[in-house]
Amino acid sequence: MTPRSATTYDALVVGAGFGGLGAAIALAEGGASVCVCESLRYPGGCASTFTRGGARFDAGATLVSGLAKGQLFGDWLAKYSPSTVVDWMDPLVELRTGDFSLEISRDRESLVRSFLAIPGAPARAIRGFFDFQRSIAASLWELFDDPTLLPPFGPRMVGRHAGRALRYLPLLPLLGRSLGEVLASHGLADFRPLRTYVDALCQITVQCSADEAEATFALAAMDYYYRGTGHVRGGVGALADALVSACTQLGAEVKLSNRVTALRRAEDGTWIATTRNGELRARTVVANLLPSALAAMLDSEAHAHAITALRARSSPIENAWGAAMLYAVARPPEGERDDAHHLELVNDASAPFAEGNHVFVSISSALETERAPAGRRVLTMSTHVPLAKLARLGEGTAAYVAEVQNAMRATIAARAPEWHEGLERVLPASPRTFARFVGRPAGAVGGLPRRAGLASYSSLGPSSPLDDVWLVGDSVFPGQSALATAIGGVRTATAITRRLGASVSRAEARDGVASAPVGVVATRA
Ligand SMILES: Cc1cc2nc3c(=O)[nH]c(=O)nc-3n(C[C@H](O)[C@H](O)[C@H](O)COP(=O)(O)OP(=O)(O)OC[C@H]3O[C@@H](n4cnc5c(N)ncnc54)[C@H](O)[C@@H]3O)c2cc1C
C-alpha cells in the first residue's frame, strides 16, 4: 500500500534515456513535478558511457547532432551545463571501402567536391542530386530545429504550417518512394561511390539500405553530418549527465539504480509504480521503453487489450536490428590525430551493410585522459545484427554472434589495419547485452526502419497507449537518434502539459478556484 501522505508526482518518467530525459526537462520547464527512475547507475541508455576496467566506453551512440547554438541540445547545454565541452572535429567520419576512401567533412560542399573528384564521376547529376537533397532536408530539419512545428499542434500552428505550404510541395512526389528511386531519377543508380556512401549513411540513420528507405526520411538523414553534429568531451554520457543536471536544476528528482518493475492504476486514477526502492505515485507515466517492455509492467488482466496492442507494436522493431559491439582500449598508430573521430568501414560494398561487413568505429580523443590509460584511446565499434535471424537460431545464437564479431575484426583488419594492430583489450557485447543492461526486449535498438511506404507517416504524434501513460524513445516519431528521441520526448511533454493543465483547470473550476496560469500544472499533493 502507498501511504496516503506519499508524494504524487505530475509525471513519473521510467528510464533516463534521451527520450525520457527530453520529456523530463520539458515537463519540469512547464512547471510539472517530475520523478525520473533509471535502472542503471548512470543515465543515457543506448547513448551512455560506462566504465569497465578503468576505461570509459560509449555504449552505442557516439556522434550526436543538435549540439549547436539554436538547437535543442546546444540550447540546453548553454542554459544548464555551460561547462560541457563539444568538440567540432573535421572531418567527422572517414568512410573506407575496398575501392575508395572518403573524408566526410562538416562542410557539404567539400563532400560534393570529393565525389566530383572521383574519376568518371557524372558531375551534373551529382550537383543536381545534392542541390535537391539539400532543399528537401532544409524543409524537414526546420521541424527539428523548431520542434513546436511537430505534433501535437496548437491552434497557431495550423496557420504557421499553412504559411509554409510552398516549402512542403516538393515533398509530395516523394511520398512512398525510396531513396534508390530518387538516385535513379537523377541518373545516379550506377555511380558506385555515392551508392556506397548513401547505403552506409542510411543504415546508421534510417536503419535500411537506400533502395529500401523512404526518400523523405533518408534525404533528411543525409544532413545528419551538417546539423550541429559533434563529439561531447568525456563521451556521450557527459551529455546525458548534463541533461540529468538540467532536470535537477528544474526541481525534478532523478533516481538512478531504481528499476521500475510494475505499474498499476490506483482507485483514484493515479498510477502506482513498484520500484526497487519502494512505490511511487504519479498522475502520468512516461515510459522510455519499447512497447513490449511497457506491456510487461502492466497488470495482465486489467490491461489485456493494451498489452496485446503494445506487443503488436513492438514486434516489427524486435524483428529489425540489434547491435554486435566491440569495445576496445588501443594504442594509437604513429602520428594519429589527437581529436575524437570516426571510421566507417565497409568490407564488401556489394553485400548487405550488417553482420560485420559494415563497422562504425568511434575513437576517443587524446584530450579525454580520464577515458583510457595514459597514451591509449578507447574505441566503440558496432555493426547491425538482424534480430529475425537471431530468433530463428535458438541455441546457435552465441556462435552466430561470435561469428559476426569475427567478421567485424576482419573488416577492421582489412580497412583500418593501423588500429587493428594496436588493439589491446577488447570487450565484446551482443543484442543480449542491450536486453540485459538497457532493458531493450530482444536487444532491439535503432527503432523502426523507415522503409518506403505511406505507413511511415501513420503516426507522427505523441503516443499514449493507455490513459495517462505515454511512450517516448525510438519507437515513437521522430525516433532513431539521441536528438530525435529527445525531440520526441519534448513533444510528448507538450501534450502531457496541456492535459495536466486542462485537468487542473477543470478541478479548479469544479472547486471554485481561479484557473492556474498556462504552463503551471498541479504540484505535489
Ligand atoms: C550501437 C549504436 C550506435 C548508435 N549510434 C548513434 C549515434 O552515433 N548518434 C545518435 O544520435 N544515435 C545513435 N544511436 C541511436 C541512439 O542511441 C538511440 O536512438 C537513443 O539513444 C535511444 O534512446 P531511447 O530514449 O529510445 O532509449 P534508451 O536509450 O533505450 O533508454 C532507455 C532507458 O530506460 C532504462 N530502463 C529500461 N527499463 C527500465 C526500467 N524497468 N526501470 C527504469 N529504467 C529502465 C534503460 O536503462 C535506459 O537508460 C545508436 C544506437 C546504437 C545501439
pLDDT, tens digit (0-9, with 9 covering 90-100), for 210-237: 999 999 999 999 999 999 999 999 999 9
Query: Helix, strand, coil shares of the chain as percentages rounded to 5?
Result: 45, 20, 35
Q: Which atom of ligand 1 approaches the CA of 475 most closely?
A: 26
Return the C-alpha cell found at 320.
Answer: 529489425
Phi first, then psi, for residue 401 (nearest 5°) are -60, -40
Residues across the chain: 525
Asked if 404 contacts 321 with a C-beta cutoff of 8 angstroms, the reply is: no
Residue 524 has pLDDT above 50, yes or no: no
Confidence at residue 139, expressed as pLDDT on a 0 to 100 scale: 87
Cα–Cα dist 74/139, whole Å: 20
Residue 1 has pLDDT above 90, yes or no: no
Residues within a 6 A CB radius of ligand 1: 14-20, 37-40, 45-47, 60-64, 259-260, 288-289, 293, 323, 382, 438-440, 445-446, 473-474, 480-483, 485
263: three-class secondary structure by DSSP:
strand
Mean pLDDT score of the chain = 91
> How many Å lie between the centroid of ligand 1 and the Cα of residue 287?
13
- Strand ranges (DSSP E) for 233-376? 253-255, 260-265, 271-275, 278-287, 321-330, 341-346, 358-363
Confidence at residue 510, expressed as pLDDT on a 0 to 100 scale: 52
- In this structure, the dihedral spanned by the alpha carbons of residues 167, 107, 66 and 50, taken in order and rounded to 10 degrees, is 150
Q: Which atom of ligand 1 approaches the CA of 46 most closely?
A: 29
> How many Å lie between the centroid of ligand 1 and the Cα of residue 73?
16
**What percent of the chain stands above pLDDT 70?**
94
pLDDT tier, 513 (very low <50, low <70, confident <90, very high otherwise)? very low
Cα–Cα dist 36/439, whole Å: 16
**Neighbour count for residue 52 (Cβ, 10 Å):** 12
Which amino acid residue places its CA nearest to atom 34 of ligand 1? Answer: 15
Domain boundaries defined on the chain:
8-56+234-317+448-511, 106-226, 321-437
Cα–Cα dist 438/459, whole Å: 25
**pTM as predicted:** 0.93
Please indicate whether residue 57 or residue 173 has the higher confidence score (pLDDT). 57
Confidence at residue 4, expressed as pLDDT on a 0 to 100 scale: 41
Q: What is the pLDDT of residues 94-118, one digit of tens each?
A: 999 998 999 999 999 999 999 999 9
Cα 275 to Cα 33, 296, 359, 379, 387: the distances in Å are: 18, 14, 38, 34, 30
CATH superfamily of 8-56+234-317+448-511: FAD/NAD(P)-binding domain (3.50.50.60)
Return the C-alpha cell found at 13.
Answer: 518518467
- In this structure, the dihedral spanned by the alpha carbons of residues 460, 205, 296 and 312, taken in order and rounded to 10 degrees, is 60
